Amino acid sequence: MSYLRGSANYVWSTTCILGRGATATVYQGVNKKTGDPVAVKTFNKLSLDRPANVQMREFDVLRKVNHENIVKLISIEDDLENSSKVLVMELCTGGSLFSILDDPMNSYGLEEDEFLLVLKDLTAGMKHLRDNSIIHRDLKPGNIMKYVAEDGRSIYKLTDFGAARELEEDQQFMSLYGTEEYLHPHMYERAVLRKPGDKLFSSNVDLWSIGVTLYHVATGSLPFRPYGGRRNRDCMHFITTKKESGVISGVQKDHSTSSIEWGRDLPKTCLLSAGLKELFVPILAGVMECDSSRMWSFDRFFEEVTAILCCRRLHVFHVSECRELVLYIAKDGVEDTRPRMSDIAEQLNKQTNVSSKNQLVTFDKQLLENYLQQNGHLPATCVQRAAYLFNVEAKEVRLSSVQSMQSAKFPEFPSSGVNLDEDASIAKTWCSITHVTKRLIERLLRCYQHLEKAPMELAALIEERTAGLKAEFRFTKEAAYAMDRQLTRTAKSQAQICELTALVPTESPELDQLKRMVASKQPAAQRPMLDSLARTEREIDSLEAKVLSPKSLSKQWTQRRSEVPPVDGCLETASSYVAKIRDNWQALARDKATKKLTYHDEQFHMLEKHKMQQTSLKLMALMQDRCLKPCYKLSQRLQTWYRESISAHRTCLQLKLALGSLTEMAAWYSQALKTDEEFDSIVGQFITTIKTFSKPPPQASPQLMLHQPPLSPQPLTDILAQRNGQLDKVLLLKLEELRKEQNEILQIVEEIQEIIYNVLRLSQ
């Protein structure tokens, strides 16, 4: 009997089945001329008995659509054996999404990057269908195929359009299609429970199926699970129709409805990050609404998914908690391309409860804020190369992964005998736990690498800041001594003014007040200021000795890190153990398929279980002894170093903040010098005026007097009084100018002195 069948241009083997459904079977075939592999869909008698227009519906839909995320139709040909139509489509070598989820490696859902790829491709494919007014009506993981392109990219594609049809946005339909677990509750009521009614359905039934499918992809399990599974149909209908708005899962633990556990969030075993869960859960809640008035529209679904896919991702390692974080930074608009540090701080606060004032975020040995200012975009990060979050108030470094490790427990095989079904089921669960354990090992190894690298990031930042403090403080010291000289000079100038006032036959209470102010300022300001300068300089020198050479922070950490054993080879060993356990599981699965074993086959069956148990013990020992313990030791070394370093950073930050006011001080000092120059000029004018008025009046020559008419006689005392009056007025005007300039100088000196005191107080 031949297993080969063909059409005019293609041939396929009936033993190479890719998938089987209620109305059709898909085989792998090849092009007769080129040898290119293809998928060939043939239809059984049940399909051929349908009306001709229903049979042609799938062909018409496939001809109409053309999109990267929909399986491509290559040709429609006739089977040479029975003349029935066959569909020739592109071959998706990655298998169906259902088979991927059925693998023990994905028992708890896909990892984040792969999930986002499924979300993107599924949404793009569905949007193309809606743009062409097509509903699928049987959307599920089994009808989503993984295509591996020539460049190695994975592309998920929608397939199986046997239930699809054209349906406008405002149209409805009555026919029943779909798979039980993914059906909208109203369709489930009619198609599965066989309840009478003439209820019409809209295109939104695909949204419910999308929600159930995405939950399955994210968690590895169906969202609504009655006790006893598919057979408990009434409870399935009860769960989906009676759940409250916002509930995205319901699991019945026994026969009573009171045992149903409702969920508004994804389970803890889900591999998605907290940042993605926060954005994704509302989408699930929106599309899995039984009440049509509350269910989202396709437009809103597409909009919300697009918002997630457009988010900029930032991987962050929280050092104090040894946790991996993923931030999803949304764009405010089309023109918004520059991320804001405030948005990042807010996201970190949500996920870690570390307030923004206590956050120190670094990337590539610099503050992340500085990186954003210099580059205008987020750095390219991943789980291996992340930004680092330091909590400046933290006093401990904890391994948060330890708590989740307690859930990784292996099941037990029956103590005696051989039960093929039970053994295969337990072996599959065993293999799932093995993959969970391997992920924990990978997380521990990444944690180890981050704990090695993060201190070097912090040390580089503190060392750079400390090195700059010396130069900045030198400027502070020069400014302070300049103020000291300014006060001395002001006092000297005041003494000169006092000598000048002796020449003025009038009292000046303003000048006396100025004299007292200068006398009180100089001794009160000079000594404390110089003492504070010396104390602050000693503190900077002490900080420099702790942070910089000869024993810098980075060198101290290198020394402490060398005391912890390395973790080289752990991942390779774990991968080897996982591969062996997968082989054991597949051997037990093959035994189940044979249904009956010989005596010798049973012995090998028992041996496979024994080897699985022994390898699992080795895997757990590897995780505990060679991964967890070194990570714990490294975290303890880091804890001591971290406390000292954060203390140095806090001191450094205080000094940096204090020295930041130097620009203002320099501006005031410049103004003081300018005013002082004006003061000197006025004093010079003052002295010149006194000298001018102090000279005796010039005597006229005898020859000139002979030609002048005689003057009226004037007493000498009147002439002297007139000259003294003119002198008094001039001197008073000059003294008033001096008083104003001196007051201005003193005001500037007071303001500079206050700045210096603030600097020194902050630095202590």
Q: CA angle, corner 418, sides to 412 and 422, nearest 5?
A: 55
d(CA 735, CA 496): 12
Neighbouring C-alpha atoms within 13 Å toward the C-beta of 350? 17
Q: Which residues are within 8 A (CB) of 50 and not within 5 positions of it... i.e. 6 or more apart? A: 23
- What Cα–Cα distance (Å) separates residue 705 from each residue in 79, 538, 697? 148, 79, 15
d(CA 237, CA 234): 5
The catalytically annotated residue of 121, 138, 423, 676 is 138
Beta partners for 173? 201
CB 201 within 8 A of CB 136: no
Three-class DSSP labels, 653-703: HHHHHHHCCHHHHHHHHHHHHHHHHHHHHHHHHHHHHHHHHHCCCCCCCHH
CB 276 within 8 A of CB 304: no
Helices marked H in 266-352 — which ranges?
Answer: 274-287, 298-310, 341-352
Q: Could you list the residues known to form a binding site, using ranges.
A: 41
Q: Measured in whole angstroms, how far is the alpha carbon of residue 234 from the centre of its chain?
A: 43
CB 1 within 8 A of CB 13: no
d(CA 225, CA 748): 79
Rg (the chain; Cα; Å): 43
Q: Which residue has the tokens 């000169």?
A: 496
Q: Which helix (H) or strand (E) holds 318?
A: strand 312-318
Helices marked H in 7-138 — which ranges?
Answer: 45-48, 52-64, 97-102, 112-131
d(CA 48, CA 187): 24
Q: Which residue has the tokens 């130069």?
A: 471
- Per the annotation, the verdict on 138 as an active-site residue is yes
d(CA 446, CA 451): 9
Take residue 14 and report the two structure tokens written for it. 């009936």
d(CA 81, CA 79): 5
d(CA 361, CA 330): 19
Q: 384, 385, 346: which is closest to 362 by C-alpha?
A: 385
Strand-pair category, 37-43 with 24-31: antiparallel
Q: Measured in whole angstroms, how far is the alpha carbon of residue 446 from the centre of its chain?
A: 17
Q: 482, 412, 401, 486: which is closest to 442 by C-alpha?
A: 401
Handedness of CA 427, 432, 435, 437 (dihedral sign): negative
d(CA 415, CA 425): 15
Q: Which residues are within 8 A (CB) of 443 and not within 5 positions of it... i.e. 6 or more apart? A: 324, 401
End-to-end CA distance of the chain: 95
In the chain, what's the furthest Cα-to-Cα distance? Answer: 161
Q: CA angle, corner 62, sides to 287 and 308, nearest 5?
A: 30
Q: Which residue has the tokens 């001191």?
A: 651
Positions marked catalytic: 138
